[in-house]
Amino acid sequence: MDYFIELLFSGLTRGSIYALIALGYTMVYGIIGLINFAHGEIYMIGAFTAFIVATILSILGFPALAIIVLAGLAAVVWSASYGYTIEKIAYKPLRHAPRLSPLISAIGMSMFLQNYVLLAQTSDFLPFPQLISDFNFMEPVAHIVGSTDLVILVTTTVVMICLTILIKYTKIGKAMRATSQDRMMAMLVGINVNRIISVTFIIGSSLAAIGGMLIASHIGQINFYIGFIAGIKAFTAAVLGGIGSIPGAVLGSVVLGLTESFATGYVSSDYEDVFAFSLLVLILIFKPSGILGKADTQKV
Amino acid sequence: MLKLEKVQSGYGNILAVKGISLEVNDGEIITLIGANGAGKSTTLLTISGIVPCRSGRILLKGEEIQSLESDAIVKKGVVQVPEGRHIFPQLSVQENLDMGAFMRTDPRKVKDDLDYVYSLFPILKERRHQDGGTLSGGEQQMLAMSRALMARPQLLLLDEPSMGLAPLIIKQIFEIIQKINQESNTTIFLVEQNANLALQVANRGYVLENGKITISGSAKSLLENQDIRKAYLGL
């Protein structure tokens, strides 16, 4: 039973991280219909930023909590500025081009960022400092649920609640939904669609940065390639849940995380990816629009 | 209020509007009639800044607006109800109306306007928590017009408000159009395929054929014009 609960929590933790990244994919897809393949790299840059800032601050002797908060903030701001800039450079000029063009631009951007970090940093794995120390109150259950897992779950939940409130109740959130449902009409009611797109990239990148920092301190090492794998998994989760749907991205991520965790625990860790992508294939065969996605019907 | 001077616009290689000039005076209802594909909707979308104006000038109260972004044009009081209504399907009726008031900065007056549109269309108030996409065609047209009114337009552009609606609903919609024109002195630019109906409420009209204006005049004179009677009124 302990083993089951351990796997359950490890699956939820994975799922949370996937969700933080998958939201960026699904929100951008919802607004401009583009799979932003550079999104994984934003996550990786978030992890690197947190790494650099955390290392500097710990040398300067800052307390642990201050390091987490400041490193997190730095990662969010830095990744968000990358997300914003990428959209302006690589996607905005292609707004009216055929759909394939921005997609190729996104793949190019992804490769560029990977190699840029490779050159600017290193190709080696860097040991990521353990930002979150073990809590005393977690002692009795520490063999099942780690303190980092708890922090990841709580942080993700708080972030999701904030995002839901933003999307559902604020003016900018309503404008984002309106833009994703009917862009021309959004323009006709006076919404500055370019601004909405920028805000979407900023929010998505911030979430990815938070995910990057959390997972890096959980796993304990980073390199320039982590964005690719995490990006593919999170993209899978977004498609699984129904691309374009925000609750779908979260649900898809949790399902994917749990699948991977249980497959690893009960079958073999060698088959982790096999199970993940088999799940995707099954969903695509039997419900191509994803778990919560709506079938794309054209009204005439 | 609004003046178009030799405006050209279109999509890709196709020129849909081939140099049209027309004028809308303060407080009047004018109508642009014409067959399918004549360029009526493109004209309205060009005024709103959705389709770029390739040449010519669009003047709003003497000021050139043809190179402004669509949101800036809405801020200047030119608001459009596009063809096909374009309700945000997964926003509630209330949220659709909120979006109409997106660029307003006077929340108290927005509240008054909300009460006003709910008084014009009580059915919308009943359905305010329902998703826009679940409304019937007539209700969607009411919502689309209400959403436009929430922006306090000085010039309201209406594209085919009668399309796909039952005769009784059309009658109601056109009564409201006249009411909006009279009560809040909103200038109305009406595009219609139903020329008979449009000319009955309008002060003046223009006939658009193949991207060019061929006939213009008072609504009364157009209704009596033999060519128009044959081509557009089926008489």
The Cα A148–Cα A220 span in angstroms is 11
Per-residue pLDDT band for B40 (boundaries 50, 70, 90) equals: very high
B153 touches chain A (CB under 8 A): no
Label the pairing between strands B78-81 and B155-159.
parallel
User: What is the pLDDT averaged over residues B181-198?
Assistant: 91
CB contact under 8 A, B103 and A190: yes
B91 contacts on A by Cβ (under 8 Å): 174, 177-178, 181
Per-residue pLDDT band for A131 (boundaries 50, 70, 90) equals: confident
Domain membership of residue B113 (yes or no) is: no
B74 touches chain A (CB under 8 A): yes
CB contact under 8 A, B82 and A185: yes
pTM above 0.80, yes or no: yes
| pLDDT score recorded for residue B235 | 64
The distance of B95 to chain A (nearest Cα, Å) reads 7
A vs B: CB pairs below 8 A: 66
| pLDDT score recorded for residue A295 | 61
CB contact under 8 A, B91 and A177: yes
Domain membership of residue B103 (yes or no) is: no
Q: What is the pLDDT of residues A261-279, one digit of tens each?
A: 999 999 888 888 888 888 8
- Does residue B218 carry a pLDDT above 70? yes
B86 touches chain A (CB under 8 A): yes
**171-200 in A: which are within 8 Å (CB) of B?**
171, 174-175, 177-178, 181-182, 184-193
| pLDDT score recorded for residue A299 | 45
Q: Cβ atoms within 10 A of the Cβ of B43, count?
A: 28
Nearest CA in chain B to A299: B84
Q: What is the 3-state secondary structure (H, E, C) of chain A?
A: CHHHHHHHHHHHHHHHHHHHHHHHHHHHHHHHCCCCCCHHHHHHHHHHHHHHHHHHHHHCCCCHHHHHHHHHHHHHHHHHHHHHHHHHHHHHHHCCCCCHHHHHHHHHHHHHHHHHHHHHCCCCCEECCCCCCCCHHHHHHCCCCCHHHHHHHHHHHHHHHHHHHHHHHCHHHHHHHHHHHCHHHHHHCCCCHHHHHHHHHHHHHHHHHHHHHHHHHHHCEECCCHHHHHHHHHHHHHHHHCCCCHHHHHHHHHHHHHHHHHHHHHHCHHHHHHHHHHHHHHHHHHCCCCCCCCCCCCCC
Which CA distances in Å does A105 have to A97, A127, A213, B165?
Answer: 11, 32, 26, 44
A242 contacts on B by Cβ (under 8 Å): none
Label the pairing between strands B2-11 and B14-24.
antiparallel
**191-220 in B: which are within 8 Å (CB) of A?**
none
Tell me which residue has tokens 């108290």. Answer: B108
The Cα B168–Cα B175 span in angstroms is 11
The distance of B22 to chain A (nearest Cα, Å) reads 22
Domain membership of residue B199 (yes or no) is: yes
Q: Are A253 and A174 in contact (CB under 8 A)?
A: no
Domain membership of residue B205 (yes or no) is: yes
The Cα B235–Cα B225 span in angstroms is 11
| pLDDT score recorded for residue B78 | 95
B84 touches chain A (CB under 8 A): no
Domain count, chain B: 1
The Cα B73–Cα B60 span in angstroms is 9
B231 vs A249, residue with greater confidence? A249
Domain membership of residue B65 (yes or no) is: yes
**16-55 in B: which are within 8 Å (CB) of A?**
48-50
The Cα A34–Cα A171 span in angstroms is 24
- Does residue B121 carry a pLDDT above 70? yes
Question: Nearest-CA neighbor of B85 among B21, B27, B155, B165?
Answer: B165
The Cα A250–Cα A245 span in angstroms is 9
End-to-end CA distance of chain A: 55
| pLDDT score recorded for residue A297 | 52
Alpha carbon A222 to its chain's center: 16
In terms of C-beta density within 10 A (0-12 exposed, 13-18 middle, 19 or more buried), how is residue B232 classed?
buried
Window from A132-141, A195-204, B17-26 with minimum mean pLDDT: A132-141
- Mean of the per-residue pLDDT values for chain B? 92
Q: Residues with Cβ < 8 Å from B87, sequence gap 6 or more?
A: A185, B96, B132, B133, B135, B140, B143, B144, B147
Maximal C-alpha separation, chain A: 65
Alpha carbon A298 to its chain's center: 30
B89 touches chain A (CB under 8 A): yes
**DSSP assignments along chain B, one per residue:** -EEEEEEEEEETTEEEEEEEEEEE-TT-EEEEE--TTSSHHHHHHHHTTSSPEEEEEEEETTEE-TTS-HHHHHHTTEEEE-TT----TTSBHHHHHHHHTTT---HHHHHHHHHHHHHH-HHHHHTTTSBGGGS-HHHHHHHHHHHHHTT--SEEEEE-TTTT--HHHHHHHHHHHHHHHHHS--EEEEEES-HHHHHHH-SEEEEEETTEEEEEEEHHHHHH-HHHHHHTS--
The Cα B159–Cα B40 span in angstroms is 8
User: What is the pLDDT averaged over residues B136-159?
Assistant: 94
**CA B204, B206, B207, B209: dihedral to nearest 10 degrees?**
-170
Tell me which residue has tokens 């096909």. Answer: B84
Question: Nearest-CA neighbor of A209 among A107, A81, A116?
Answer: A81
Question: Nearest-CA neighbor of A133 among A115, A119, A146, A117?
Answer: A146
A295 touches chain B (CB under 8 A): no
Amino acid identity, position B59: L
- Domain hosting residue B174, numbered range: 2-86+153-231
- Domains of chain A (ranges plus CATH)? 2-286 (1.10.3470)
Q: Cβ atoms within 10 A of the Cβ of A231, count?
A: 25
Instruction: State the best of A185, A194, A245, A246 to mutate against chain B, taking most chain B CBs within 10 Å.
Output: A185
- Does residue A73 carry a pLDDT above 70? yes
Q: What is the pLDDT of residues A207-233, one digit of tens each?
A: 999 999 998 888 888 889 889 889 999
B100 contacts on A by Cβ (under 8 Å): 189
b/e per residue A140-165 (b: at least 16 CB within 10 A): eeeebbbbbbbbbbebbeebbeebee
Domain membership of residue B34 (yes or no) is: yes
Percent of chain B whose pLDDT exceeds 90 = 80
CB contact under 8 A, B82 and A188: yes
Q: Are B157 and B165 in contact (CB under 8 A)?
A: no
| pLDDT score recorded for residue A300 | 43
Closest partner CB to A190 (pick from B71, B86, B91) = B71
| pLDDT score recorded for residue A133 | 74
Domain membership of residue B196 (yes or no) is: yes
Alpha carbon B82 to its chain's center: 7
ipTM: 0.92
Q: What is the CATH number of the domain that holds B65?
A: 3.40.50.300
Q: What is the pLDDT of residues A103-112, one digit of tens each?
A: 999 999 999 9
| pLDDT score recorded for residue A101 | 94
Q: Are B140 and B164 in contact (CB under 8 A)?
A: no
Domain membership of residue B93 (yes or no) is: no
User: What is the pLDDT averaged over residues B203-223?
Assistant: 91
